[in-house]
Amino acid sequence: MLKTHSFRHSTLGEEVASYLGKELLLSENYTPGSFIREEELAKALNVSRAPVREGIKILEGFGLLRTIPQKGAMVVDFSPEEVEELYDIRYALEEIVFREIIEKGLFTRDDYDIFRKKLDRMLLLGMNVDSKETILLEFSRIDMDFHTSLAEKSGRRWTLRMLEMVYRQIQQAVLKDLAAENDMKALVDEHIRILDALLAGDLEELKKGRFFSYFQRRIAPGREDRLASGV
């Protein structure tokens, strides 16, 4: 049963989208293949149907919902094969971003310190007394902010837009990986290695490290070598 939720901000459509986004990740109310109905959601959130409609359209734009006439907005169900494809796309787009940053010398020591502070917040989550779901969601949010902010550094506007969509579409898979991870510090250390390689201008180290962190838990034996060699 949905809990009543009230909003204080003027951008109600974005607030609805934010609320729905969390529900899609954590709640059993909106499982893949289920439907979101405007009237029901508006009543539960104590808002009119207009911001609910706007929030749904925002999530449709990210590919997380699909409107079906006479039924409502359906929660998109990504198959394992689609998730694999999305990870491949993420890898390819991030390589473009990192190459641009390195070739144009866009990553400075000041940038390094700024991004380390983001990672420090990740580490602090391990000492948080909140529920595991809340911690994982915040860890995921910081992780998305980390990678999105790096993409912004490249100045490649359309690459950033595509990455933002991919990040949101694989967030559920990322959360599942995080839930199975017992060593959160090791995950933070992987992010630190990204910063070290960017500061050193070492694109090859970035490529190698990201293959391990993105794919080692899920790819078929031998695929990593084929991908690294461009086959």
Q: Where are the domains of the chain?
A: 12-75, 80-228
218: Cβ contacts below 8 Å, ≥ 6 apart = 84, 87
Q: For residue 98, with 0-12 CB atoms within 10 Å meaning exposed, 13-18 middle and 19 or more buried, which class applies? A: buried
- Kindly state the average pLDDT of the residues 189-210: 90
Q: pLDDT averaged over the chain? A: 84
User: Edge-to-edge strands of the sheet including 65-68?
Assistant: 35-36, 72-75, 65-68
pLDDT, residue 129, reads 60
pLDDT, residue 223, reads 44
* pLDDT above 90 (res 195): yes
CATH topology of domain 80-228: Four Helix Bundle (Hemerythrin (Met), subunit A) (1.20.120)
pLDDT, residue 5, reads 52
Asked if 62 and 169 count as a contact pair (C-beta separation under 8 A), the reply is yes
**CA pair distance 153, 163, nearest whole angstrom:** 13
pLDDT for 68-101, tens place per residue? 988 889 999 999 899 889 988 999 999 999 999 9
Distance of CA 121 to the CA centre of its chain: 17
CATH number for the region 12-75 comes to 1.10.10.10
**CA pair distance 165, 59, nearest whole angstrom:** 10
Provide the pLDDT confidence category of residue 28 given band limits of 50, 70 and 90. confident
pLDDT, residue 154, reads 96
